[in-house]
Structure 1
């Protein structure tokens, strides 16, 4: 353990020890002599060893949170100002960032829940990062969807693709886009441009820098939620309410 970390740990332990001593001050006044005080603190820690464990856990959690916040601040522009597609309020108080893939079954399973949450919370928006992590089909679909943003059809196409079953391919994405009335010739042309390649690469590089383990991954403030757990909306609600109350120091 680094000396600075040890000092913080020691301070926490001593604080807890002194607190314990002060609670019994009337019956057993805390000594003023340093050696006696050290002895009392030792006795307290020996009688309450969980204090050391609790202090270690808190130190680890605090340092992990601080490191997470530092990384998110460093990447703030890439996360929130990179021109990624958005759904929801433009002046949202709460921003949810989602890393996803159109062939990810967990992303599809979570989509209706996220959609309902956005409807129920008009002060919230979703920033979408398609990282096409599941192979060539996913990358081809991602290019089609990125191209669709130039026709103002992102949200419509995104909704249609996320509610499909089975493997999503370029052919299926184009078929769906056709039914939605997109200009297919323009769509295919835009999907092959360097601009589209750059947009996809930026999302993938950001995922790599954040060490995104799998999809979906949601970021709300400095908190992350991986996968599609049963309590997904409960967790999102908790983190969103914290932001509503105290603001976001990394967004």
Structure 2
């Protein structure tokens, strides 16, 4: 949506773009336009009125460019908060390309995307997954999120995360502990770490970052300068495209 404040500015840019794209080349190639300014302005106005879709497309492209520039600026500003933390990772730690995911263990779309992410990491060994648990689905989610972060302290995060994301129904503290037992994780240490101030601080930092970035839904993925909200039909295509963009051109926000 283009705000009322942005529209006049973008309209002028759109008119300028239309002039350069459609008017100037024709003047240069064919002397068919009036040579005085008033007549030329009238021609441009008439052209725009007869072709409103071109203006809409120009406005859309300008808005997308403006939004993209703003996103880059925001991501650069929070680079350390996004990447310079002790958030759990899945994949080769030396991988050059990082996919950041904001998620919740009781988010059905997060679970739906996980097998596709897992397969992508396997076929793209230069990528890794950096996980930010928002624990935004209530007390059960927070309890499970604490256990997952505690499992990370024991070096058991990847296996625990994989098991949690493979379940159906509401994931609770009791269910998560049963899964941890099955994986051979030290349960007493897990409980102690999960209730520690360190884990509380980690969750608070993730929630604060999510608020700063206006993360209102999960999953949300950040790949370089681009983001994916939810699990769109072309999720795999978008993911591959954004990863390839970082691989090819680098990223000043990563």
Superposition TM-score, scaled by structure 1 size: 0.90
Task: Write the deviation string for residues 53-93 of structure 1: whole angstroms up to 9, x where unpaired.
Answer: 22222222122112222221111111111110011132323
Instruction: Evaluate the alpha carbon distance shift between residue 132 and residue 42 of structure 1 in structure 2; reply closer, same or farther with a 3 A threshold.
Output: same
Give, in whole Å, the separation in 2 of the partners of 1:162 and 1:14. Answer: 51
Please point out which of 108, 112, 115 is paired with 2:115. 112
Question: Aligned-pair RMSD on alpha carbons?
Answer: 2.1
Alignment of 1:208 onto 2:239: no
In the alignment, structure 1 segments of 5+ residues that lack a partner are none
Partner of 2:188: 185
- Following superposition, the deviation at residue 219 of structure 1 comes to 1.4
Alignment of 1:90 onto 2:93: yes
111-120 or 180-189, which deviates more: 180-189
Partner of 1:235: 238
- Following superposition, the deviation at residue 40 of structure 1 comes to 3.7
SS at match of 2:116: helix
What are the within-5 Å matches in structure 2 for residues 83-162 of structure 1? Answer: 83-162=86-165
CA contact (8 A) 1:22 1:30 kept: no
In the alignment, structure 2 segments of 5+ residues that lack a partner are none
Give, in whole Å, the separation in 1 of the partners of 2:21 and 2:132. Answer: 48
SS at match of 2:30: coil
Superposition TM-score, scaled by structure 2 size: 0.89
- Following superposition, the deviation at residue 8 of structure 1 comes to 5.7
Partner of 1:173: 176
